[in-house]
Amino acid sequence: MSAAVDQQSTPGASVAAPDPVVRRLAVLALALGGFGIGTTEFVAMGLLPDIARSFDVSEPVAGHVISAYALGVVVGAPLIAAITARMARRTLLLALMAVFTLGNLASMLASSYETLVGARFLAGLPHGAYFGVAALVAAHLMGPQHRAKAVAHVLTGLTVATVLGVPVASWLGQSLGWRAAFGLVVAVGVLTLTALALWLPVQLRLMRSTSPLTELGALRRPQVWLALAVGMIGFGGMFAVYTYIATTMTDVAGMPRALVPVALMVFGLGMFFGNLVGGRLADRSVVRALYLSMGALCAMLTLFVAASHNPWTALLALFGIGLTGSAVGPALQTRLMDVAHDAQTLAAALNHSALNIGNATGAWVGGLVIAAGYGYTAPAGAGAVLALAGLVVLTVSVVLQKR
């Protein structure tokens, strides 16, 4: 199979590589969109008490705004990727970012709890499709030798959001009201729209569009489903820990509650560097990068069970979990681009549906072991089992591919 970039180009067309400055600005614009999406995805978690008070609902009920966003991601990724298969990639990216910005504007202006839930669902719809198309566009611009690095650069916006975007938006939300946090995301969305319009090169018209039937053909490929299963199962291990990290760091590690944001930033820094390392590893060998990153994630989750009893060792292990977990992303995205053949847009978008399912799976499994009385170190142990299960699925995929 030819490289992913070649599959997206017009057959027979001679495509000159764009100027390096053009490439960097285009990828920066794509990453800026990832920053906005990452910020809005995670910021609501820290503002649930404020949202609950605002609409006079309980905090568990307010938590449905997070579920609504995740549901939007899961539903929107395959649906949008299929029905927009014939749309020019540049136009599609602008449209996706416009819907994302409008969804967050509706969240900021929501007059009722029900309206907010609907707005969060709308904001989540373009999430997976945006990252999927952005990854393919970045790979197209950077060339077949740097596909995974291109994917990693797009995902850098998401990882930077965990370090800077979420803390800043949370601070705004706590200082000026939760609506201000979504206002910041709207501003990032408008800035991204401007950057995409100015910096995405006209050359993108040479990227070949497909058709809904072609894209849906990815769902007939067992290797696509196996790659998605690796993300849904294996990636859940990281979120089994992340979901309950605040209580783990205070009640188990003995860290003051005021320093919990520091722990989240340490985790975010691990994700930032892991994403870049994962991209470089995957450009050398996608399958080897998946084995290395997921195997290391399993080891770090196991280590966290013991390390979480001391704040310093807990922070080191938390950095390691963010590093190894995030390194899985570029390799998994590239693996899907490889096994999907001519249905890469749908497969790339489905990756983010799979990761959101992994998020929910990890949180659910972690909650089960806590509720069973095993304590707040148990999610890390359960997460290690999930990562190991992801390695088993990957091995099945590799063996079937060789046959």
Report pLDDT for 188: 96
Residue 23 near residue 149, CB atoms below 8 Å: no
In three-state secondary structure terms, 29 is: helix
Q: pTM of the prediction?
A: 0.78
207 DSSP β-pair partners? 9
Report CA-CA distances (Å) from 327 to 157, 261, 319: 14, 22, 12
Phi-psi region of 14 (alpha: psi -120 to 50; beta: other; left: phi over 0): beta
| pLDDT value, residue 7 | 38
Q: What is the pLDDT of residue 3?
A: 37
Question: What is the per-residue pLDDT for 17?
Answer: 52
CATH superfamily, with its number, for domain 18-209: MFS general substrate transporter like domains (1.20.1250.20)
Contact 174, 44 (CB under 8 A): no
Q: Over its length of 403 residues, how does the chain's per-residue pLDDT go in tens digits?
A: 333 333 343 333 334 456 778 888 999 999 999 999 999 987 887 687 788 889 998 867 887 888 788 889 888 988 888 888 788 888 899 999 999 999 999 999 999 999 999 999 999 999 988 988 898 888 888 877 777 788 888 888 888 888 888 888 888 887 899 999 999 999 999 999 999 999 988 766 656 666 677 677 777 788 889 989 998 898 888 888 887 887 888 889 999 877 877 888 898 899 999 988 998 898 889 999 999 999 999 999 999 999 999 999 999 999 999 999 999 988 888 888 788 777 777 777 888 888 878 877 887 888 888 888 898 899 999 999 999 999 999 999 999 988 7
112 neighbors 55 (Cβ within 8 angstroms): yes
Can you give the pLDDT at residue 8? 40
Question: Rounded to whole angstroms, how far apart are CA atoms 80 and 86?
Answer: 11
Q: Where in the chain is the domain with CATH 1.20.1250.20?
A: 18-209, 213-403
CATH 1.20.1250.20 describes domain 213-403 = yes
**Is-contact 386 242, C-beta < 8 A?**
no
Strand positions, DSSP E, 138-267: none
**What is residue 5's predicted lDDT score, i.e. its pLDDT?**
37
Nearest to 384 by CA among 286, 317, 315: 317
Question: What's phi and psi for 2, nearest 5 deg?
Answer: -75, 170
pLDDT at residue 207 in the model: 63
